[in-house]
Structure 1
């Protein structure tokens, strides 16, 4: 009997364990579907088509940079030629032979000296060679080409980062817009429920003869408006969800677990501006373009110097080439252009103007970014002030709604007053949510532009 009981207990224990494991796995799976802003960002970087395209651009530039390094290495190749001429290449010296015969008093030069019609090259010939060439000195042009290639690779990487930053800013905007829409739905639902309850109470009071019919009409109109706004808010959620999904590059999202950051001043404006001027990717792009323009001047200056290279050939095979008896040869070549119509001078001046152009872009960009930083910071400050003011207004609005509802229930207030108090409270709460949205979007963009993306994402 004890054995049977123990077996049942063990079986029951195993069933409980399996159920517990099932619930744990279910909870884990459910939580896995709740994306944080950071998880959404990681997904976007791996799934978004624009990010992938930009990443391929970086890879292509990496290969081009490797190809540029090959300018320092020798070039090795083989070549071959086979020719068929219309006739043999020959030299007829029989006239000279006859003159020689006359000088030597030979009566029949042709018989004694033979035929002097010589074949130098038969009409069918061929050869194959192995070739090697290598630049020794190019006036600094090869070094400049490699430096320019390195800068272009860095520019492409910076451009890729800028694309990621742009999409991150969009993601922050869409993500919090979706959160704003969901909060609005929840608030609209609460307003609808409150007005529905009030409508039912008004109908009962009217049926009992406690209030006139006009009071129920106010409640019905308010209920219809609340229902319409609730439906519109739900459509906003659907649209915002689609926008986030498309930006991330996935087909479905179950939900989000991030929250709004409470408005606060994390550090002074001056620190944000300093970060902007040292970490912003746009300024780094301008800096790299300045370096590239300086390399361009070096490239143009290199035309003043001679180009020196070595080359060599080895004859692998030949056919009917009696005049070519060598097997290999090596040599050094020099090319020095002494005058080219002042082209070099003008090209150098043009390159220097490009440097000045980039410097002016840099000055203006710094002014623009400093101003834009102040704009975002002021937006944060404004929304903080709005949020704090709305917190105080919400307390009064809640108290007013409570008092209006009690007055209506006691027969000393009207339905219109209850509806007005309810809508006033919901309006304040909506403004609070909107202030949170505007603050977080401005704060997020400011953090991304100053190179603090990871720090912001970890806060959410």
Structure 2
């Protein structure tokens, strides 16, 4: 009996634990996603961002490889050779001549065979060598600077990718917010018109109003239902776009609300931050520095390259020429005196590259300033629109209330109630649209001036 009780108690606790896990998982899966959360997920999951990060790592490795040019190079080699024949030196004719001069009757018998083997056809040897540059006319130092700048450019390219996707994320996130708010308004309109239609139907059945009043309410109800279904589809489409951008499979809720329109800085402040913090302008500046280093690299070809080297022969087999010589060291220099004016033209080409980037930089600043001013003006326009709509919304709500009361008292018509309801919904929809336009313009402007995190934290 006790064993059965303990077993039942164990299974009860086990079921309770499973229940807690299910509840916890449901809470986690139903967690609302803020704009900042969505941004972090995008940075972690998006394939384009991952690819740009790999590019940065690639350039970092190239920079590390460039640093190795300052260090000595050590190599080892082993060689086995088989020649067609031995290398011989036949001096018998010289021997005979010497024998004649010395009046030797038989030089071959007395002086012997003067046919020597200098190198047998089978031989092998191993060497260990070291070399190190002493001076390359500045090539090594400048090449290291080039690879470091390329790391910075890759980081800026990665940031540009993030900025482009962040602007797209802000648009998609708030587009979903817009779609949800529009759906809410459409739902309210549908419920209001449905209530009005039911009320009108009862009035008609009791002979209080004419049938035409109910027909007008019925048409309004059909239109409201169509608009609601369209709003529901817009929500589904916006949800899919946001999920694909973030890189997740499900979005339960989004919790970041629209920022209420306000202008806290002048355009001159935004312009100053733009010229100082824009990633594209930073990239252009890095490319200009790269072009300047390119001029120095081309000029370094006027100077000689100097280096030291040494070799050690630890092993030989049947190599008599190297038996008494195990190592050698030396210093070498290479100086290209004339190469058909290639250096001069390459230097001019590099200088023209600087002029080209300077022109690009000037135009980019002009284009970005113009575009940021457009975004700033959009913010101002939507602020004025929002403030005007807020006032109009108050009047429209009062008008709807009065039209509804008049209809209920028999002094108003159904069409007046529907018109007042639609007028209010139109103002509410325009108000939501103004919020959307303001927030995406503000978000893009903050990304352009390099203050993405500040914008995300404001929400």
TM-score for both structures, normalised by structure 1: 0.94
1:2-401 paired onto structure 2 within 5 Å = 29=27, 33-324=31-322, 325-401=324-400
- Partner Cα distance (1:191, 1:252) in 2: 29
Give 2:456's aligned residue. 457
- Partner Cα distance (2:132, 2:300) in 1: 18
Contact 2:30 2:253 in 1 (8 A): no
Extract unaligned runs of 5+ from structure 2: 1-12
Give 2:407's aligned residue. 408
Q: Deviations over 1:392-415 (max 9, x none)?
A: 111111111111111111112111
| Partner SS state of residue 412, structure 2 | coil
| Partner SS state of residue 334, structure 1 | strand
Contact 2:393 2:428 in 1 (8 A): yes
| Residue 30 (structure 1) shift | 5.4
| Residue 27 (structure 1) shift | 11
- Partner Cα distance (2:25, 2:432) in 1: 29
Give 1:437's aligned residue. 436
| Partner SS state of residue 251, structure 1 | coil
Query: CA separation of 1:86/1:30 partners in 2, compared to 1, >3 Å: closer, same or farther?
Result: closer
- Partner Cα distance (2:29, 2:390) in 1: 32
| Residue 29 (structure 1) shift | 3.0
| Residue 56 (structure 1) shift | 1.3
- Partner Cα distance (2:27, 2:264) in 1: 35
| Partner SS state of residue 105, structure 2 | coil
- Partner Cα distance (1:29, 1:279) in 2: 40
Q: Deviations over 1:11-63 (max 9, x none)?
A: xxxx9xx99x979x859935971011111111111111111111111111111
| Residue 113 (structure 1) shift | 0.8
Extract unaligned runs of 5+ from structure 1: 1-14
Give 2:417's aligned residue. 418
| Residue 79 (structure 1) shift | 0.6
- Partner Cα distance (2:161, 2:28) in 1: 32
- Partner Cα distance (1:67, 1:27) in 2: 48
- Partner Cα distance (1:27, 1:377) in 2: 43
CA RMSD of aligned residues (A): 1.8
Give 2:7's aligned residue. none
- Partner Cα distance (1:418, 1:226) in 2: 14
| Partner SS state of residue 252, structure 1 | coil
| Partner SS state of residue 413, structure 1 | coil
Query: CA separation of 1:27/1:142 partners in 2, compared to 1, >3 Å: closer, same or farther?
Result: closer
Query: CA separation of 1:415/1:27 partners in 2, compared to 1, >3 Å: closer, same or farther?
Result: farther
Q: Deviations over 1:329-373 (max 9, x none)?
A: 111010011111111001000000001111111111111111111
Q: What is the aligned residue count?
A: 442
- Partner Cα distance (1:48, 1:435) in 2: 30
- Partner Cα distance (2:82, 2:25) in 1: 84
Query: CA separation of 1:224/1:133 partners in 2, compared to 1, >3 Å: closer, same or farther?
Result: same
- Partner Cα distance (1:29, 1:201) in 2: 41
Contact 2:29 2:252 in 1 (8 A): no
Q: Deviations over 1:255-308 (max 9, x none)?
A: 111110000001000000010000000000000000000000010000000000
| Partner SS state of residue 217, structure 1 | helix
Q: Deviations over 1:77-113 (max 9, x none)?
A: 1011111011001111111111111101011111111
TM-score for both structures, normalised by structure 2: 0.94
- Partner Cα distance (1:431, 1:26) in 2: 40
